[in-house]
Structure 1
Amino acid sequence: MEILLLILGLGLILAGANFLTDGSAALAQRFRVPEFIIGLTVVAVGTSTPELVVSVLSAIARNSDVAMGNVVGSNLFNVFVILGICALIRPLALTQSNIRRDIPFGLGASLLLLLFTSDRLLHLGSDRIGRADGIVMLVLYIGLMWYTIRATGRAEAAADANAKPRKALWLVILMIAGGLAGLVYGGEMFLHNATQIARKLGISESVIAITLVAGGTSLPELASSIVSIAKGKAEMALGNVLGSNIANILLILGLSATIHPLTMGGITHLDIGMVVLSSLLLFLTAFTFRRKKVDRWEGAIFLAIYVAYIWYLIK
Structure 2
Amino acid sequence: MAYVLLLIGFGLLIKGADLFVDGSSNIARLLRVPPILIGLTIVAFGTSSPEATVSIIAALQGNAEVSLGNVVGSNIFNVTLVVGIAAFLYPLMVENETTKKEIPFILLASGALLVLVSDTELQGLNENLLTRSDGIIFLLFLSIFLYYVIEVGMKSRNKSAQEPAPTNVKWEKNIVLTVLGLGAIIFGGDLVVDNGTEIAYELGMSETLVGLTIIAIGTSLPELVTSISAALKKESGIALGNVVGSNIFNILFVLGSSAFISPLAVNGKIFTDVIIMIALSLLLFIFSRTQYKIGKIEGFILLSLYIIYLVYIILRN
State how 1:1-315 maps to structure 2 within 5 Å. 1-7=1-7, 39-122=39-122, 123-157=124-158, 164-167=169-172, 183=186, 187=190, 193-265=195-267, 267-288=269-290, 291-315=291-315
- Structure 2 residue identity aligned to 1:72: V
The percentage of aligned residue pairs carrying the same residue is 41
In structure 2, do the counterparts of structure 1 residues 257 and 162 end up closer, same or farther at CA, with 3 Å as the change threshold?
farther
- Structure 1 residue identity aligned to 2:231: I
Could you tell me how far apart the structure 1 residues matched to 2:20 and 2:229 are? 19
Contact 1:137 1:251 (C-alpha < 8 Å) held by counterparts:
yes
Could you tell me how far apart the structure 2 residues matched to 1:178 and 1:223 are? 12
Could you tell me how far apart the structure 2 residues matched to 1:139 and 1:225 are? 28
Which range is displaced more, 110-119 or 148-157?
148-157
Could you tell me how far apart the structure 2 residues matched to 1:182 and 1:92 are? 23
Contact 1:9 1:186 (C-alpha < 8 Å) held by counterparts:
yes
What secondary structure, in the 3-state scheme, does the structure 1 residue paired with 2:120 have?
A: coil
- Matched residue count: 307
Displacement of 1:138 in angstroms is 0.9
Which range is displaced more, 95-104 or 149-158?
149-158
In structure 2, do the counterparts of structure 1 residues 246 and 120 end up closer, same or farther at CA, with 3 Å as the change threshold?
same
What secondary structure, in the 3-state scheme, does the structure 2 residue paired with 1:121 have?
A: helix
Contact 1:285 1:293 (C-alpha < 8 Å) held by counterparts:
yes
Could you tell me how far apart the structure 1 residues matched to 2:260 and 2:73 are? 21
Q: Deviations over 1:114-155 (max 9, x none)?
A: 112211221244122111111110111011111121123112
Contact 2:21 2:226 (C-alpha < 8 Å) held by counterparts:
no
Q: Deviations over 1:230-289 (max 9, x none)?
A: 22222221111111111111111111111111222375211111110111111122345x
TM-score, length-scaled by structure 1: 0.81
Could you tell me how far apart the structure 1 residues matched to 2:141 and 2:32 are? 23
Could you tell me how far apart the structure 2 residues matched to 1:14 and 1:132 are? 38
Structure 2 gaps of 5+ residues are none
Structure 1 gaps of 5+ residues are none
Could you tell me how far apart the structure 1 residues matched to 2:145 and 2:11 are? 31
Could you tell me how far apart the structure 2 residues matched to 1:124 and 1:87 are? 43
Which range is displaced more, 122-131 or 80-89?
122-131
Which range is displaced more, 56-65 or 132-141?
56-65
Contact 2:197 2:215 (C-alpha < 8 Å) held by counterparts:
no
Which range is displaced more, 104-113 or 296-305?
296-305
Could you tell me how far apart the structure 1 residues matched to 2:297 and 2:180 are? 43
Which range is displaced more, 273-282 or 190-199?
190-199
Which range is displaced more, 37-46 or 142-151?
37-46
Could you tell me how far apart the structure 2 residues matched to 1:136 and 1:176 are? 31
Could you tell me how far apart the structure 2 residues matched to 1:133 and 1:15 are? 37
In structure 2, do the counterparts of structure 1 residues 211 and 286 end up closer, same or farther at CA, with 3 Å as the change threshold?
same
Could you tell me how far apart the structure 2 residues matched to 1:222 and 1:76 are? 12
Could you tell me how far apart the structure 2 residues matched to 1:186 and 1:308 are? 25
In structure 2, do the counterparts of structure 1 residues 264 and 240 end up closer, same or farther at CA, with 3 Å as the change threshold?
same
Contact 1:17 1:183 (C-alpha < 8 Å) held by counterparts:
no
